Amino acid sequence: MKLITYAMAVASACLALSSPARAEAPPANTIEAVNVAQQGNEVALRIDLKEALTSPPPGFSVANPAKIALDFQSTANGLGKTSQVFNQGDLRGMNVVQVGDRTRMVLNLVRNMNYKTRIEGKSLYVTLTPIERLADSAAQRTTRFAEESLVGSRHAVNDVMFRRGKDGEGRIIVDLSDTGTGIDIRQQGPNLVVDFMKTTAPERLRRKLDVTDFATPVMSVETKTFGDNVRMIITPKGLWEHNAYQSDNQFIVEVKQIVEDPNKLVQGAKVGYQGPRVSINYQNGDVRALLRLMAEELNLNAVISETVTGTTTLVLKDVPADQVIDIIFQQKGLDMRKKGNIIMIAPRDEIATREKLDFESKQQISELEPLKLEQFQLNYQKAADVARLLSGFTVGGPATAAPAAGAATSTQRILSKRGSAVADPQSNIVFVNDIPTKLEEIHTFIRAIDTAARQVLIEARVVEAQDSFKRELGTKLGLINSKSSEILGSGMNFVGGKMTPGTSTTTAGVTTTTPATLTQNPMVGVNLPVPTTGGALAFSLFNSSLTRILNLEIAALEEDGIGKIISSPRVITANNVKAKIEDGTEVPYISYQPGSGGGAGTYTVAFKPAKLSLEATPQITPEGTVRMNLIVKKEEPDWTRAVSVNGFLNPPIKSSVVETNVVVENGGTVVIGGVFITDMQNTVDKVPLLGDIPFLGWLFKYKNETGKRRELLIFITPRVISDKMRFD
C-alpha cells in the first residue's frame, strides 16, 4: 500500500512539473462536437472546431477492415471521450486519439466507402459514399469459399487425406458427398479454420492427425463436429500462406512455406505488393508521421532515424500500404532493413555507412577471436579430400592429401585466414582449427557433402545389322564346224573346232568303220561366264548330218546374306561420377625402318585399340530422371583392306562413335544414335556392238549387281539402384 501511495505521489509530482510546459504551448485548435446525419446511402459528418481550418486534414482509408482515418495537426480532443457509436448506415462509430498536439479520428465502417471533405466556417463536413470494387467481392469470396446450393439438404465428408506436394507444401484433400457443400475458410489466430456447412462426418474421421513427419509447414489437422457443421482446424508453423480450390467432389487446401525476403515488407510467394490497400490524401505532411501510419497498417514496428526529415504530399487511391512506403523511399532517398516485424528506416548513405562499420568490426573481431579445435568424423567422403576442399584446393590428381604447412593460400577457401585443416587417413577424421563462426559453416558444409551417393546401372545395347545381296548373269557361245576353215590362208581355224563324220570301208570282204571325231578349239565364240559357282543352263543346236553344232550356256548366280551383331556392355557408377568399360583387342601394326648405310632394317611393332567402349557420367535429377553424358565407341579391324608391309598385314580400324547428352526416365530406354550405310555396285561386261542389240545382246554380255546395307543402332537404359533392386 505504501508503495502504491508513493508511486501515485511521484506521478502527481511529474504531472505538476510538466503542466506548466504544456500550458506554455497548448494546441492551437480543438474538436468540440461531432454530428452525424444519414441521407439515403450517404452518411454526412459535421465536425465543429474551435478555430476554422486552413486546409482539409490529411487522411487515408483502409479496405479490410474498412475504416477512414483523419489527422488533425495542432488540434486537441475536446469531446471528453475517445469513442462513440453511431450505427448510421454504413458508419458504425468512431475513435478519437490524441498524441501530443496531434489528434487522429478513425471512422469505423461496415464496408469500404469513399469520402469527401469540405470546410464551411469553423466546421468540417465529411461525406461518405458507398463504393463497390472488384477487390471487395474477391475478399468476400475468399472468406466464403463456396455457397451452399442444395438448401435444406445434408452433406457429408467421406474422407480426409494428407499429402506432401512436390515443392514441400502440405495438401489436405477432403472428399465430399456432393459439389453443393458450403465452405467457409478463414485464418483464426495462428490456425486456418475451414467450416463445412450442414455437413456430417463419420466417427473414424473425427480425429486429430499429426503430420509433422511429412516435413511440411502443417503440424496437425483436426476434424470435429461443430453444431450442424464440420470444422477442420489446420495448424501450420512459421511463415505460411494457403491456397484453396475445389475440383468436383474434392476440396483441396494447400499450405505453403514462405521464404522470408528481407527486402519485402509483406512476405508471400506472390510477385508485387501485397499489403492492405489504402487511400491517402496527405497534403504537405510530415514524412515520419506518414511512415509510422503505413507501418501500423502493416503491423510492423518502425524505428525511424532522426535524420529522416521533411514533408511530402501524396494523393493516392486504393494503393497497397507497402507500395506507399516504397514511393516515399524513392522520393526521399531512404532505405530500410527488416528484422522480424521491425523495420529500421534511414537514408541510404547512413545505412550503407552503418553496415560497412558493422562488417569492419566483425572482421576485426574474427582476427582477434581465439581459435577452437574440432574434429569431424566422415562416413562417406575421404578426409584428405575434405581437407583440401576446406583449404580451397581441388580434389584429384596424384596429391590428394591436405596441403602442407606454408603452402600457398587459395582465395576460395572455406576456412578463415587463420584456420587450418588436417586429415587423418586411418581414422578418416578431419581436424579443423578455426574461429567458432567458421566452425558452424564447416558443420553445414560437411553435413551437405558427407552423404551416401546413389548408384546408377547403365546398360547399352549396340546392334549392328548387315544385309548383302549379289546377282550375276553371263553366257558362253561356241560353234563347231565339220571341217577346218582357214582365214585368209593363215591356217587359223574357225572358232569352235572341227568335226569329222564317221565312215565305213570294205576291203577283201572286211568292213572297217572309222568313228566320227571332234576336234575342239579351246576358244569359244563368246566367253562371258559367271566367275563364281552358280547355276547354268546349256543347250545345243545342230543339223541332221551333225556337221555344224551351236553350243549356248547361260550361267546365273544370286546370293543373299543377313547378319546381326549384338553387344551389350554394362557399367555401374555413382551419381555424378564418370565410368568407363572396354572390351576388345589391340591390333599389332608393323612398321619397317631401313638401316643406314645399306645395313639391315629394323621392324617395330605398335598396338592400336579395336574395342567396344562405353563411357558415361550419370546425374540423378530431383524428378527421378537420369541425365547422362555418353560416349559409345565401336571399333574393329577391316582385314579386307589390309596393307602389306614386307609380308605383314596392317588392317585399317573401322570406327563408329556416338557422343551425346540425354535425359531418360528411370528404367526407360532411348536410342541415342544410328548409322545407316548403303553400298550399291553395278558392273556390265559386253561385246561391243553385239552386246547393244536388244534382247539378242544378252548373249554377248555379263552383268554383276552387288548391294550392301549396314545399320548401327545404340540403345541406352539407365536404372537407379535401390536396396530392393534385383538383377536377373
Is residue 608 scored above 90 in pLDDT?
A: no
Confidence of residue 679 (pLDDT cuts 50, 70, 90): confident
pLDDT of residue 160: 92
Distance CA 475, CA 696 (A): 12
For cell 496531434, the residue is 102
Q: Which of 214-228, 567-581, 638-652 has the lowest mean pLDDT?
A: 638-652
What single string gives the DSSP state of each residue in 422-476?
EEETTTTEEEEEE-HHHHHHHHHHHHHHSSPPPEEEEEEEEEEEEEEEEEEEEEE
- CA count, 13 A, side-chain hemisphere, 646: 10
Q: Which residue has the higher pLDDT, 403 or 434?
A: 434
Return the percentage of the chain with pLDDT > 70, whole number.
80
pLDDT of residue 3: 37
Closest CA to 249 of 162, 156, 169, 171: 156
**pLDDT tens for each residue of 322-362:** 888 888 888 888 998 888 778 889 999 998 898 888 888 88
| Helix, strand and coil in the chain, % to nearest 5 | 15, 50, 30
Q: Which of 35-39, 269-273, 423-427, 644-648 has the lowest mean pLDDT?
A: 269-273
pLDDT of residue 193: 92
pLDDT of residue 683: 83
Q: Average pLDDT in the 301-324 region?
A: 84
What is Dmax (Cα atoms) for the chain? 191
Mean pLDDT, the chain, as a whole number?
A: 78
Is residue 295 scored above 60 in pLDDT?
A: yes
Q: Name 204's Cβ contacts closer than 8 Å, sequence gap at least 6.
A: none
Q: Which residue has the higher pLDDT, 512 or 409?
A: 512
Confidence of residue 153 (pLDDT cuts 50, 70, 90): low
**pLDDT tens for each residue of 18-54:** 334 344 467 889 999 999 998 888 899 999 999 998 8
Closest CA to 480 of 456, 499, 465: 499
Exposed, middle or buried, 488 (CB in 10 Å: 0-12/13-18/19+)? Answer: exposed
pLDDT of residue 503: 67
Q: Average pLDDT in the 377-402 region?
A: 75
**pLDDT tens for each residue of 490-537:** 344 444 555 555 667 777 667 777 766 655 555 456 677 777 656 676
Q: Which of 249-258, 438-447, 455-464, 673-682 has the lowest mean pLDDT?
A: 673-682
What is the pTM assigned to this prediction?
0.44
Is residue 691 scored above 80 in pLDDT?
A: no
Here the cell at position 422 is: 588436417
Question: Could you tell me where the beta strands, DSSP code E, fall in 227-306?
Answer: 229-236, 240-247, 250-257, 277-286, 301-304
pLDDT of residue 498: 55
